[in-house]
Amino acid sequence: MSTLEIRFPAQLEAFKSSVTLSTLGVLLVAVLLTVGRSAASGRRRAWIRVGRAPGLFGRNKKAAVQDFQQHGRALVRHGYNRHKGRNFVVYTAEKDQLIIAPRFLPEIRMLPESKISHAQVLMDYWVGEHIGADVAMGGAQHIDAVRGPLTRSLKTTVPMMHREYRRTSEFLFSQIPKDTREMSVYQFCYATVSSMTSTVFIGEELTHAGGWGNIVMEYFPEAWRIRNALKPWPYALRPLVKPFVVKDNKLEAILAKAERYLDEPIKKRRSPDNEDVDILKFLAEYNESPRKVALQVVGIITGALNTSTHALMEAIYHLCAHPEYIPEIRAEARAALASENMQWTYEVSKKLHLLDSFLKESLRVFAPEGQVAITRKATSSFSLSDGTWVPKGTYIAVAGEAMSRDPEFYPDPERFDGRRFLGPDGLPLSPDREFHGIEPGNGMWGSGRLTCPGRHYASALSKIIIAGLLLKYDISLPKGQTLKPGTEMDANLMPDMTQTIVLTEIE
């Protein structure tokens, strides 16, 4: 027995007992922590990563961005096919993006803005507070006006849209060189979409009064220039560096011009006896400031210009690649017009079933949102049913292009089939198989609360433009030319902007 044990037997026993209890306590805490972590990991499934990770403190970010820019479509398609039915994360051009499997769409489809936000995605992408988007998107008036009044008024606006198409297209056709008969596809689509959309949004009188077209054309390039200059800078530093990196900022002058242009028309449309049916009237009735209304109108038109122009360009390219559809689409348009006394009405556009299916198939194959679609930002944390934890600030999307090539949704998906969405009777297989419909596997129009509010308008607009072109001309590529592939830009696919087509007037 040691001296220590002889002298302090009681204290030693107490010490041993204390050590034993402490050890047991530590072991118990460790067990509880392990069980807790196991339970948490069961609730919170770890993310599967596809492609290169940005690394700790972003040390591999540059390489990850470069990988996505060069192989983004392949990366997302690989992740979708390899991890079928599961969620995965990929680092895109500037951020990690959680790509959720299609089976989880119903879970996020109806989540409120307090959980996931499309507006915040746009604000982040466009550095919205520096181009006026924060004012334009303050509230949902612009979305409500397009989803409700615009869609309900299509019977009134479609004849007006057709008049505007005739006016714009006849001018464009008059400028075609007589020797080559070649026309820029981009110029044709952009000009017709711009004039028709402006007419629906602010009325024929204001569209033709002079100056409005310049405002719309000036806004987008300037907003894009500001966005590109500020995007590389951290959010907090942007206001400080803006005067130095954005030289000769013209945006305020453009917006002031738009506000002055619309000021009196807004007051006029607020009159109780005003009978206008344009979007400007619906927005004016919310009694917001002229600046906000002007920003909303310019912003919506700009958005419609890009998406509709690109989709129509690709539809024209697909017609050139599959000319066997042209006579049938033309015959269908002639029959529909004859049934409506040769007047282009909303009913005419609803009877163009083959054109409807062709446009939908073109959009499926083209997939303008490319790798990812239905992008949202988590504005608060939540968990999916498989345990995938979605922290606040996470970007969520679906693999839009991979879904459109999935045989589970579309049999023989690599084949272009202009009749894919029609039954044997030549009618749509179901309402969700129409151009504006959202069938399983379709990421083109969004999902849930923020499904594209203008898809019914886009359908009518597209049919007027494509049918109008084919009722007057046969179209083809210039001799010896083949279609060039689209260009990837971040998560988007851009059609070739330089392509021309040859117009041959029909008998």
What pLDDT score does 71 carry? 86
What pLDDT score does 368 carry? 64
Reported confidence tier of residue 320, pLDDT bands at 50, 70, 90: very high
Round to whole Å and give the CA distance between 240 and 237: 5
- Taking Cα atoms as reference points, which of 443, 440, 424, 423 lies closest to residue 432? 440
pLDDT tens for each residue of 397-408 = 999 999 999 999
Reported confidence tier of residue 41, pLDDT bands at 50, 70, 90: very low
What pLDDT score does 425 carry? 95
Residues 6+ apart with CB under 8 A from 45: 87, 386, 387, 388, 389
Q: Which amino acid is at 494?
A: M
**Four-point Cα dihedral 211, 216, 217, 220, nearest 10:** 150
Provide mean pLDDT across the span 379-396.
92
Enumerate the domain spans of the chain.
Answer: 3-42, 44-130+373-406, 131-368+407-440+444-505
Q: Which residue has the tokens 């009777």?
A: 425
9 pLDDT above the threshold of 60? no
368 or 469, which is more confident? 469
26 pLDDT above the threshold of 50? no
Dihedral sign, Cα of residue 22, residue 24, residue 26, residue 29: negative
22 pLDDT above the threshold of 70? no
Residues 6+ apart with CB under 8 A from 90: 49, 50, 51, 68, 72, 75, 76, 79, 96, 97, 99
463 pLDDT above the threshold of 70? yes
What pLDDT score does 145 carry? 84
The answer to whether the CB of 128 falls within 8 A of the CB of 137 is yes
Looking at the chain, the number of H-run helices and the number of E-run strands are 21, 13
pLDDT tens for each residue of 336-360 = 999 999 999 999 999 999 999 999 9
With pLDDT > 70 as the criterion, what percentage of the chain qualifies?
A: 90
Provide mean pLDDT across the span 176-203.
95
Helical H runs in 127-277?
A: 133-136, 141-145, 151-152, 154-174, 185-202, 204-208, 212-230, 238-245, 251-269
What pLDDT score does 38 carry? 38
Window from 158-162, 174-178, 271-275 with minimum mean pLDDT: 271-275
What pLDDT score does 370 carry? 61
Reported confidence tier of residue 140, pLDDT bands at 50, 70, 90: confident
What pLDDT score does 490 carry? 66
195 pLDDT above the threshold of 80? yes
Q: Which residue has the tokens 């026309």?
A: 183
The CA-to-CA distance between both ends of the chain, in Å, stands at 120
42 pLDDT above the threshold of 50? no
Window from 13-17, 200-204, 403-407, 470-474 with minimum mean pLDDT: 13-17
Q: 380-386: long-range contacts at Cβ-Cβ below 8 A with a sequence spacing of 24 or more? A: 380/114, 380/115, 382/111, 382/115, 383/43, 383/44, 384/87, 384/100, 384/104, 384/107, 384/108, 385/104, 385/107, 386/45, 386/86, 386/87, 386/104
User: Which residues on neighbouring strands pair with residue 492, listed in sequence order?
Assistant: 489
Provide mean pLDDT across the span 397-424.
95
Average of per-residue pLDDT values in the chain: 87
287 pLDDT above the threshold of 70? yes
Instruction: State the architecture of 131-368+407-440+444-505 in CATH terms.
Output: Orthogonal Bundle (1.10)
72 pLDDT above the threshold of 90? no
289 pLDDT above the threshold of 60? yes
What pLDDT score does 44 carry? 64
The answer to whether the CB of 330 falls within 8 A of the CB of 437 is no
Residues 6+ apart with CB under 8 A from 224: none
On whether 452 is known to bind a ligand per the annotation, the reply is yes
228 pLDDT above the threshold of 70? yes
DSSP strand E in 41-194: where? 48-50, 88-91, 96-99, 116-117, 182-184
Tokens of 119: 């507006």
The answer to whether the CB of 501 falls within 8 A of the CB of 466 is no
Q: Which residue has the tokens 């959720």?
A: 100
- Taking Cα atoms as reference points, which of 308, 300, 319, 366 lies closest to residue 191? 308
Tokens of 280: 């400007």
Reported confidence tier of residue 84, pLDDT bands at 50, 70, 90: very high
Compute the residue count for the chain. 507
What pLDDT score does 91 carry? 93
28 pLDDT above the threshold of 50? no
Tokens of 241: 């560096």
Tokens of 362: 């073109």
Ramachandran class of 426: left when φ > 0, alpha when ψ lies in -120 to 50, beta otherwise: left
Q: Are strands 395-398 and 373-378 parallel, antiparallel or unpaired?
A: antiparallel
Reported confidence tier of residue 373, pLDDT bands at 50, 70, 90: confident
CA distances (Å), origin 144, targets 128, 259, 282, 442, 452: 20, 21, 9, 23, 11
Ramachandran class of 51: left when φ > 0, alpha when ψ lies in -120 to 50, beta otherwise: left
Provide mean pLDDT across the span 422-435.
94
Provide mean pLDDT across the span 83-106.
92
Dihedral sign, Cα of residue 252, residue 254, residue 260, residue 263: negative
DSSP code of residue 422? B
Window from 31-40, 165-174, 478-487 with minimum mean pLDDT: 31-40
Provide mean pLDDT across the span 312-318.
97
Round to whole Å and give the CA distance between 473 and 465: 12
What pLDDT score does 30 carry? 44
- Taking Cα atoms as reference points, which of 251, 248, 265 lies closest to residue 295? 251
Reported confidence tier of residue 6, pLDDT bands at 50, 70, 90: very low
With pLDDT > 90 as the criterion, what percentage of the chain qualifies?
A: 65
Round to whole Å and give the CA distance between 212 and 222: 16
pLDDT tens for each residue of 240-281 = 999 999 999 999 999 999 999 999 999 999 999 998 888 999
